[in-house]
Amino acid sequence: MSASGAGIFFDGLTGARREVAIDLGPVALRILSAQGTALAEWPYPEIERLSAPAGTLRLGRKGSAVLARLEILDPVLTAHIGDHASGVDFGAVSERNERVRVIAWSLAAVASLVLVGVFGVPLLAARATPFIPLVLERRLGEAFDAQMRSILDRDHVGSRFACGTAEGEAAGNAAFVKLLHRLERGADLPLPLRAIVVRRSEANAMALPGGRIFVFRGLIAKAETPDELAGVMAHEIGHVSHRDGTRAALESAGLSLLFGMLLGDFTGGGAVVVATRMVLQSAYSREVEAAADGYGVTLMSRIGGDPRALGAILARIGGATEPAMKILLDHPETAARVAAINAMAGSSGGQPLLDGAEWAAVKRICSGN
Amino acid sequence: MSVLDPPGSPSSLGITVQSDRLAHFVGPSGDYWRLLIRGNALVAVTLGIYRFWLSTDMRRFLWSNTVIGGESLEYTGRGIELFLGFLIAIAVLLPLYIVFAVIPFLIPGLAERNASGSMLIIVLAFLGQFAIYRARRYRLTRTVFRGVRLHQSGSAWAYAFRSSGWWILIFWTLGLVYPWAEASLERYKMRHTFYGDLPGHFTATGGRLFVRGIVLWLIVVGPMLAALFVAPFFDWSALDAALSKRDIGAGHSKMAGVGVLAGAAVIWAVLAALALYPAFQAMATRWWLSGVRFGDIALTSSLRTGQIYGIWLRFLLGVLVFAIAAALILALVPISWNQLAKGAHLSSGLQLVAAGFALVAYLVIVLAYSTIYQVIVKLSLWRVAVESLEISNFHMVELVKAEGQQSSPFGEGLADALNVGSF
């Protein structure tokens, strides 16, 4: 059976529009001018359907550099072409298959991304950290130090943000340095510690890369014995010894790369990326904190301090510093943490690390305010 | 019907210029809703990877339903091309990001000043302009009309330099030079745009846009300028004294008035800008379309300001309806938000579920807003802009010879990665 009909033809060489006759041969579609001369002959397997408004069938030749187009408005002829040319991809099947593949691979990519995020990034960061030269870590520390100061120094006191330099604070600073040196001697670190007390009222302390430690004045206020302060400092020294600051920076960079860059930013994607990063990073750091607790207990025992003091002060301040969302908790839950510390510590005891006068001086290290 | 002999053809009337309403948009909004809802659902599930295929579908819909002189445009781009373009862009940007991230730690003293971050922003802004030009080239070379494709020559670097220069000027003149910037950039783009062998150009002038836009500009920025202008005439030390004493008595009421005036000027500027934006959009679109030429083929647009206001009002209505619907659905969620916020009685596992739910809800809401915007605003703008066109000398398309090659999708990928992409 041979069918024919009318169509509109663009030869792909000029913009001229031709009304043509279409003849559906056995193996090819023939395009004839009004006078009956053959303009083109398209074998069915080479024909593809192209996008067009509803009611128009637009055909072209697959992979051709010349963009010849044939348009058919007649529904009967369109149906005939469907019958004849089994090779013509009418339902855009190949296109649909491509999309199904894309969706399937995307889902696989999302799954692998999450796995890499949960397991790969912390593993990689932990492996890579020992290879970061200490010189670089110290530079990283300088950068973090400046950044943290600008974030934490809410009252913009500038150089006075660090306690211990003003008049009347010298004795406190001397006692604090004594405590620090005692801890440092026991710690055997690859780089010197640079710890300061800062004017922040929260009961907290933090370790930055490059051996930098910030002890908040609020922590000293809450500490009842020198060993409690030393316990927290020993925990932070654990972070320094494990190079956790550098590792966290690597993890953060890795996650930014993974979720920020590779996924790109589609509408609403930014928030998903940030949320995922926060949850994952809190999860990494919970293990890191437990390890730092272990280090702290060992260090305190080694220098003859009270290894249980860390647990005691944590129990006192713990509840206040926990965020509402447990999945955002970057430290293990306080009760479990204190229990773990006490189990490791065994018996408490030993002499206090500072005498009464020294401890009283440390308590006044920010008094020059 | 043939476009060769439209009513009043040159031979019968003996004149060479003729124009007619030849452009129509025939795409039903319902199809576009379906396309976007389905597409955005897949974007959410694939964490964004499907967006390249979605934007391909959107363009295909817009192009193929735009009918000019009885023939529709055709978009021949493919999702996989955009995806590859994005991967290439990542390969280029990644080293850049890493270099800028590492530099501060290698040069002591740089980190404190945060110079590296500002440098990166400047470099990325410049690259964004480069990407806009290259992405335009991709879209043009994927646009086929009557078996002939469009294409673009010119240098993306040259465009990026021009464009960056103009944006700096726009910033320092509070937008006053914007009309000339637009005209200059559009001239550059159109001068390097071709339909087959038919060269494009742009005839609208910055001066015309300025004359029309200056009223809007004065309404928005005027009060702020006035506030700045009168400021030197006030006794600032008296104001300072008044404020420091926290005593704004009868003698100082005039001084306190300055602060109120300045605040009011800023609030006025924001409100006026919002209220006048549709008017500006209509004016700028009309001006732009009416300047587009391909050889002797000329466009004129009779877009009405009221149409654009209508579109934005429908958008506000759509958003309102969706917000009410979303609020009703969220109210039915079993875990109350209050309880979630406190988090006291929830186990870690349940919190994870709740956080996941919140994240999904957020994503759904954001994507829904984007869908509403795309259909009500973007599609309608496209529709009214197309329908507003008059085209003179359209018969010239018959004589156009095919020219030009497909270009790489790198520009599109870069635009996507830098967030400057558009249609």
| Domain edges within chain B | 73-197+404-423, 205-283
> What is the tens place of the pLDDT at every residue in B166-215?
999 999 998 899 999 999 999 999 999 999 999 999 999 999 999 999 99
Between B324 and B422, where is the model more confident? B324
Are A267 and B108 a contacting pair at CB < 8 A?
no
Comparing CB atoms, the residue among B64, B86, B362 nearest residue A53 is B64
Q: Is residue A334 part of a domain?
A: yes
Q: At what angle do helices B156-172 and B178-191 cross, to 10 degrees?
A: 170
pLDDT tens profile B64-101: 999 999 899 999 999 989 989 988 888 888 888 878 77
The answer to whether residues A79 and A142 belong to one domain is: no
- The yes-or-no verdict on residue A53 having pLDDT over 60 is yes
Are A166 and A39 in the same domain? no
Phi and psi (nearest 5°) for B48?
A: 100, -20
Answer yes or no: is A188 within a domain.
yes
- What's the confidence (pLDDT) of residue A355? 87
Residue B129: predicted pLDDT:
93
Name residue B288's amino acid: W
Whether A108 is in a domain gets the answer no
Range in A48-62, A315-329, B163-177 the model is least confident about:
A315-329
A28 and A157 both lie in a single domain: no
Range of the domain at A221: 115-363
| Chain A CB contacts of B94 below 8 Å | 257, 261
* A158 and A28 share one domain: no
Whether residues A161 and A233 share a domain: the answer is yes
**b/e code B295-309 from CB counts within 10 Å (16+ = b):** bebbbebebeeebbb
Total domains in chain A come to 2
Asked whether the predicted pLDDT for residue A51 surpasses 70, the reply is yes
A273 lies in the same domain as A358:
yes
Question: In this prediction, what percent of chain A has a pLDDT beyond 90?
Answer: 17
Taking contacts as CB-CB distances below 8 angstroms, the residues of chain B near A109 are 46, 49
pLDDT at B363: 82
pLDDT digits (tens, 9 = 90+) for B10-33: 333 334 444 567 899 999 999 999
ipTM over 0.90: no
Burial class (CB in 10 A: 0-12, 13-18, 19+), A36: exposed
Residues 143-182 of A with CB under 8 A from B: 143, 146-147
Q: What is the pLDDT of residue B216?
A: 93
How far apart CA A14 and CA B401 sit, in angstroms, is 4
Q: Which residue of B has its CA nearest to A104?
A: B46
pLDDT at res. A113: 80
A16 touches chain B (CB under 8 A): yes
Predicted local distance difference test score (pLDDT) of residue A266: 55
Closest residue to A143, CB basis, from B104, B344, B355: B104
pLDDT, one tens digit per residue, over A330-364 is 666 778 888 888 888 877 666 788 888 899 988 88
Specify whether A155 is located in the same domain as A46: no
* Domain-located, residue A107: no
Specify the pLDDT at position B18. 47
Least confident of B42-46, B232-236, B386-390: B232-236
Q: How far is A28 from chain B (nearest CA, A)?
A: 21
Report the 10 Å Cβ neighbour count for A246.
Answer: 24
**What are the beta bridge partners of residue B25?**
B66
CA distance B277 to chain A (A): 23
Is B111 within 8 Å of A268 when comparing Cβ atoms? no
pLDDT, position A171:
86
* Identity of the residue in B148, B341, B367 whose CB atom sits nearest the CB atom of A15: B148
Same domain, A123 and A86: no
Instruction: List, for residues A126-160, the tens digit of each pLDDT value.
Output: 888 888 888 888 888 888 888 888 888 777 676 77
Residue A96, chain B, CB below 8 Å: the answer is no
pTM score > 0.80 for this model? Answer: no
Tell me if A97 is assigned to some domain: no
Residue with tokens 């300001």: B305
Task: Write the Ramachandran bin of B5: left for phi over 0, alpha for psi from -120 to 50, otherwise beta.
Answer: beta
For chain A, first and last CA: distance in Å?
101
Q: Identify whether residues A309 and A165 lie together within a single domain.
A: yes
Mean pLDDT of B358-368: 83
Find which of B2, B87, B148, B195 to mutate to test the A interface (most A CBs within 10 Å of its CB): B148
Among A91, A126, A149, the domain-final residue is A91
Q: Please give the pLDDT value at position B4.
A: 39
- Residue B240 pairs in a beta bridge with none
Q: Given an 8 Å threshold on Cβ–Cβ distance, is A327 in contact with B352?
A: yes
Same domain, A243 and A275: yes
Tell whether A121 and A15 lie within a shared domain: no
Position B112 scores a pLDDT of 54
Q: What CATH number does residue A18 fall under? A: 2.30.29.30
